[in-house]
Chains A and B, each alone.
Chain A
Amino acid sequence: MMSRPLASEHPTGPFYRTLPPPTMHEAALTAGVRIEPGTTYGFFTDTTVCIGCKSCEAACKQWNQNPMDDFGFKGTSYDNTGELSATTWRHVAFVETRIDTNGDHRRDRTRWTFMSDVCKHCENAGCMEACPTGAIIRTEFGTVLIQQDVCNGCAYCVPSCPFGVITLAEEQDRKAHKCTLCYDRMKVGMEPACAKACPTDSIQFGPVTELRERARERLRFLHSRGRREAYLYGVPDAPGAAGGVGSLNCFFLLTERPEVYNLPPLPELPSRRAGAGFLTATAAALFWGAVTTAMILAPRREQREGGRQ
């Protein structure tokens, strides 16, 4: 039987001719942006227009072919997803916030606060710092990507993420997985699946610098309409952009404290604590080393006793 060469060995072969040409810029039509390497892209998630439809969750799972996971009734309002994981890269939180009704029992007592959470693609990513194999890289689109063929499943990145985004796919390949910002779609000029599926444009995709401008404009509008509690999370000099993480490429417009959405108010890179740990370990090693040396060099008992006689 004739051995067939792999398609990748034939970049001019029929397989490649069937791919859409790289000059296609679908995102220019759907998000008003041409995706070019060398620019940093991200998401601006405006929680004030999120309606909790979970379209982003379903679109993400469908495009990335992620399996159903953690199946079960959770009783946390309409949220049965719970948290981000190796196989869930978008999670919509449903927070029931109490409203002051002034004692009027006919008025609604709660309001739903939604937030679609995702990997933040940090400026200084804790996962990338911790990765010993170099599997986690910064792509040409400024995103943080786990190369699945390089990852060896050591899970160092799991506790190194200040936002708890990454886990290992325990039931599949036991490797770390997280949001890729749809790297495969961006390569061919398409905006990420969740942003495209979002019916209210709560999730907006684009170059981070442009998104920040858009977010500040939206914030000014909300403030002018009396929503003084609105603020940005993850832009420079704002909550979320702290502890060495730098700014977040995927940032949020929030109306409640970060903890309400299960976001850390002051995220911190674990490597920041490594210095103190290293010093403590060195001091301990020196101390116990000195004790051991002293014990070895100290005169023996029989020598001491023999000296007394």
Chain B
Amino acid sequence: MMADGKGWLYAPAGLKDGPLPTHYEPVESPLINRIYPAQQTNPAAKLFHRPDNLYHAPGDPAYPYVITTYRLTEHHTGGVMTRWLPWLAELQPHGFVEISPELAAEKGIQHGEWVTLTTARGEVEARAVVTDRMLPLSFDGRVIHQIGMPWHFGYKGIARGDVANTLTSIVEDPNSRIHEGKVFTCNIRAGRKEVRA
């Protein structure tokens, strides 16, 4: 938003990746950028190349699924406030991921059972909610499955579940430095995660 109180499509100053909005693929994506095949992601995005913050290459076959994270309506501000309040915790008592019936059939996942999600950063387990609300996406004749994972769950409190931040990588938006936890890639399998000794 600019000083006149309006949002500008053409912003000649003030933005690190202006002056016009355009499309880049997320840092982790199963597809190549159709608009700029030579520039897959935002060149101004801040990346952190560290051994505990590995990124998946575009189209990495080890992590073929798109995952997005979100709050639920029942979640009040942050996880700490929500998880400890019984009246809110009982409305969403456990961490879960939402997947389409097609992906569930492909991976042998039963509704309500445990699934494990993996990225190069870590591994989390959650209950599977198999629902028609999740639609497989079609691109270039390929079917790309999307997975939804509500966050605000944690290992302490009344409503518990694995932490979604275990999966995400740190990528910062060049202007607001909000990190790209809304979309990345992952893999999924039926069953609980392995307990490491």
Residues of chain A whose beta carbon lies under 8 Å from any beta carbon of chain B: 51-54, 57-58, 61-62, 67-73, 75, 77-78, 80-81, 96, 98, 105-106, 108-110, 112
Contacts and interface: CB of A to CB of B under 8 A. Distances in A.
Given A54-B74, A73-B127, A62 B92 contact: no
A71 B90 contact: yes
A36 B141 CA distance: 66
A105 B133 contact: no
Interface of B: 72-74, 86-94, 96, 111-112, 127, 129, 131-133, 135-136, 138, 158
A62 B135 CA distance: 37
B132 A109 contact: yes
Contact of A68 (B72, B127, B158): B158
Nearest to A62: B87
5 contacts: A67-B86, A68-B87, A73-B94, A110-B131, A110-B133
Contact of A105 (B73, B112, B138): B138
For the residues of A in contact with B, the DSSP-based class is loop
Contacts of A72: 93-94
B87 A58 contact: yes
Contacts, number: 66
B73 A106 contact: no
A57 B89 CA distance: 12
A109 B72 CA distance: 21
Nearest to A99: B132
A51 B112 CA distance: 24
B16 to A, nearest CB: 34
Contacts of B94: 72-73
Contacts of B136: 105
A96 B112 CA distance: 16
A307 to B, nearest CB: 77
A58 B85 CA distance: 11
A309 B51 CA distance: 114
Contacts of B91: 54, 57-58, 80-81
Contacts of A58: 74, 87-88, 91
Nearest to B136: A105
A51 B92 CA distance: 16
A69 B87 CA distance: 9
Nearest to B159: A71
B86 A68 contact: yes
B90 A80 contact: yes
Contacts of A96: 131-133
Q: Find the residue from B87, B89, B136 having the highest chain A CB count within 10 A.
A: B87
B158 A80 contact: no
